Amino acid sequence: MSTSPLGSFRRLEEHCRQAVKDIYVGCEPDKHPGELGSLPDYDYALVQLLQRQASVLMKLSSNSEPSTRPDPGLHIGQRTLLQKRLEDILSISYSKFYHYTFSDVPLWLRQLYTDTSILKLCEQFTSLSLSQRSILAGQSSTTGNLDAELTHMVKTLDLAIIIAGAAGGKRGRAWIDKALEMLEQCCAELAVREGNEELRKTFNLEQEFGSTSAWDDLPSFSTFEPVPIPVTEPIRRTSCLTHDAFQSYLDRPGHRATGAQPLVIAGLVDDWPARTTRPWCKPSYLLSRTFGGRRLVPVEIGRSYVDEGWGQQLITFREFISSFCDPASSSYSAPTRQPTQRKDLAYLAQHPLLAQIPSLRADISIPDLCYTSPPPNPFHRGPPAEEVDEPKLNAWFGPAGTITPLHTDPYHNLLVQVVGRKYVRLYGPWEGKRMRPRGVEEGIDMSNTSHWDVGVEEGWDERPLDGDAEAQMGDGEGSGSGSGEEGRTTPLRDIPYVDCILEPGDTLYIPVGWWHYVRSLSVSFSVSFWWN
């Protein structure tokens, strides 16, 4: 590791300067293919407003030498107006996102939001107070307010990733990843050079990576399970399968009419760094890989996305762990039944966290089994799901009691359990009517989700106070195909299912079309791989 924080600081300064120039030039209409000014149907007024802000930022920083504070004689009003205009562009462009479904947001709009975020980061970096710039440049080791300023800067870039997909050609995702890497390198080099424990704690530089014992003495997440759940209809288990053996399993199902069956595979991911040298079971390790927990993540607040009052928030990884997954939770005495109206229950669910944070993506690998050719769902009657060239990866991280309600997905799925234990119950796709699928609710098609609340039916959860008691009891008078005669008269307890508890290191194959209910028994971290 380099011992010169000044080197990383200067590289980040130059990285910002070049981005500002590129954004200014890229706003010129029809001169640079692939840039903002040449994209079809772009908003000329907004793009020109962005170009003017790039011009102002270039002027504000033109008199500053590398690694020094910008000229204090520059008019503070200019910088204040610049900050306001950048916020205006972000607000206006974000409001335009609502004119489209997320997948249809035009490239120019996503790139506009990303470029504006990059300019905002450049402005934040150049306007750091003299004392904070001295710290990052290696000329001071008093942290002062640096932690808060770093958090704001990281938030700016994470919003561009989460909201706009960090779209862009010369800049975009590659630029953002590089900026975050250099900013973190400044902090790491400074802490190492100074040998300052306060700095090491501020930047969460607890250990060196790669050693099998580096994290052994640090606390792990709680393994406490407030609600014991038995397995009554166990899914078949097997040891680690090769690609060819799994393909044979898919090609030769035990029952041709029903297709491939769920399967628990042990030992498939034993060599993942996330399970060995870079353990995800250690909160300190996860914080160290998320810039001291400063990275921003979207979390679901509440027990289930079908409950009244459920919502979503963007919070830092550090806040998520400390507020909802703290290892100290192992000492509390929990009730035998989970409350259902919990505002203190949060779930990082179905989020491409590993794409957002490449340092965590390096801790896992895609199983070879995802490159098999699985059979279609023999009970599916609609158009096939969009083909994917590479598996879709999503993270599922949260405390005990977080659930994914009974639902079905359009892809085959390998659900890998990395930390903690999860209960999973599955119903065959031929049970579609008896699953009582929901209908269109508030303009959203919810037909892949069941009216049945498995936790309530089994007595693991209390019935939501605002829930539809009649719908939960099986009268089926709600919307959707669940209102059919069979859906009304068959209690959930009489519908056949299979179930399992996933231990750390287990992988569950969920065939396409199978209805499944998933529940974290303890603090749990899982990764799903969708493919077809």
3-state SS string for 48-64? HHHHHHHHHHHHHHCCC
Does the pLDDT value for residue 121 go beyond 50? Answer: yes
Long-range contacts of 249-254 (CB under 8 A, 24+ apart): 250/372, 250/373, 250/374, 250/375, 251/375, 253/375
Dihedral sign computed on CA atoms, order 482, 487, 491, 493:
negative
How confident is the model at residue 330, as a pLDDT?
A: 41
Q: Is residue 117 within 8 Å of residue 171, measured between CB atoms?
A: no
Give the separation between CA 393 and CA 283, rounded to whole angstroms: 22
Pick 527 or 305 by higher pLDDT: 527
Looking at residue 341, what is its pLDDT?
46
Confidence class for position 73, pLDDT limits 50, 70, 90: very low
Are 237 and 266 a contacting pair, CB within 8 Å?
yes
pLDDT at residue 465 in the model? 66
Tell me, what's the pLDDT at 180?
Answer: 95
Structure tokens that stand for 407 in this block: 């639902």
Q: Using one digit for the tens of pLDDT, what is the confidence trace for 271-288? A: 999 999 999 999 999 999
Helix (H) or strand (E) holding 396: strand 392-398
Distance CA(228)–CA(460), nearest Å, equals 9
Per-residue pLDDT at 420 exceeds 70 = yes
| Token digits of residue 426 | 């599955």
Please state the rounded mean pLDDT for residues 235-246. 95
Distance CA 281, CA 9 (A): 33
Q: Average per-residue pLDDT in the chain?
A: 84
DSSP single-letter state for residue 494: G
Query: Helical H runs in 27-171?
Result: 44-61, 76-97, 107-126, 130-136, 146-164
Query: Is residue 416's pLDDT more than 50?
Result: yes
Token duo for residue 143: 């942290």
Q: Specify the pTM.
A: 0.88
Residue 252 has pLDDT above 90, yes or no: no
Q: Could you tell me which residue, 472 or 57, shows the higher pLDDT?
A: 57
Phi, psi of 105 (to 5 degrees): -60, 125
339 — pLDDT class (breaks 50, 70, 90): very low
Phi, psi torsion values for 139, nearest 5 degrees: -105, 0
Q: Which of 31-40, 91-100, 117-126, 244-253 has the lowest mean pLDDT?
A: 31-40
Question: CA-to-CA distance for 455 and 306, rounded, in angstroms?
Answer: 13
Average pLDDT, integer, range 130-145: 60
pLDDT band at 107 (very low <50, low <70, confident <90, very high): very high
- Give the angle subtended at the CA of 202 by the CAs of 197 and 207, to the nearest 5°: 65
Instruction: Give the pair of three-digit tokens for residue 127.
Output: 């306007």
Name the token pair of 247. 């393909």
**Burial of 100: CB neighbours in 10 Å, binned 0-12, 13-18, 19+:** exposed
Residues written for the chain: 532
Strand 498-502: give its sheet, edge to edge: 403-407, 515-520, 422-427, 498-502
Nearest to 48 by CA among 98, 116, 97: 116
Is residue 274 within 8 Å of 280, Cβ to Cβ?
A: yes
Q: Average the pLDDT over 262-268 and give the result.
A: 97
Token representation of residue 346: 């949060």
The answer to whether residue 332 scores a pLDDT higher than 70 is no
Give me the pLDDT at residue 519, please: 97
- Whether 72 has a pLDDT exceeding 50, the answer reads no
Tracing tokens 């930390």 back to the chain, one arrives at 419
Q: Is the pLDDT of residue 481 over 50?
A: no
Residue 214 has pLDDT above 60, yes or no: yes
Q: How confident is the model at residue 482 (pLDDT cuts 50, 70, 90)?
A: very low
Does residue 515 contact residue 429 with C-beta atoms inside 8 Å? yes
Taking CA atoms, 221 is separated from 145, 229, 325, 331, 423, in Å, by 30, 20, 7, 12, 18
Does 69 score more than 90 pLDDT? no
Inform me whether the pLDDT recorded for 427 exceeds 90: yes
Q: What is the pLDDT of residue 351?
A: 96
In this model, does residue 295 exceed pLDDT 70?
Answer: yes
- What's the average model confidence in pLDDT over 247-266? 87
Judge whether residue 90 has pLDDT over 50.
yes
> Which pair of structure tokens corresponds to residue 54?
């790039």
Q: Taking the mean position of all CA atoms in its chain, how far away is CA 464?
A: 27
Q: Kindly tell me the burial class for residue 308, based on how many C-beta atoms sit within 10 Å of its own C-beta (0-12, 13-18, 19 or more).
A: exposed
Q: What is the pLDDT of residue 334?
A: 41
- pLDDT category of residue 67 using cuts at 50, 70 and 90: very low
DSSP state, 212?
T
Percent of the chain with pLDDT over 70: 79
H/E element, 348: strand 346-351
Mean pLDDT, residues 408-417 taken together: 96
Query: How many beta carbons lie within 10 A of that of residue 189, not counting itself?
Result: 21
DSSP helix, strand, coil percent of the chain (3-state; round to 5): 40, 15, 45
Give me the residue label for tokens 């459920």. 310
Determine the 3-state secondary structure of 250 from DSSP.
helix
pLDDT the model gives residue 477: 38
- Per-residue pLDDT reduced to its tens digit, 378-411: 787 677 788 888 999 999 999 999 999 999 999 9
Contacts of residue 70, defined as CB under 8 A and 6 or more positions apart, other chains included, come to 60, 61, 63, 64, 126, 127
Is 58 a residue whose pLDDT tops 60? yes
- Is residue 139 very low, low, confident or very high in pLDDT (cuts 50, 70, 90)? low
pLDDT band at residue 499 under the 50/70/90 scheme? very high
**Cβ proximity of 186 and 136 under 8 Å:** yes
Residue with the two structure tokens 């550090």: 318
Higher pLDDT, 485 or 297: 297
Structure tokens at 514: 């199978």
Is-contact 411 522, C-beta < 8 A? no
**pLDDT reading at 223 higher than 90:** yes
Which range (45-49, 318-322, 374-378, 409-413) has the least confidence?
Answer: 374-378
pLDDT band at 356 (very low <50, low <70, confident <90, very high): very high
Q: How far is it, in rounded angstroms, from Cα 453 to Cα 412?
A: 23
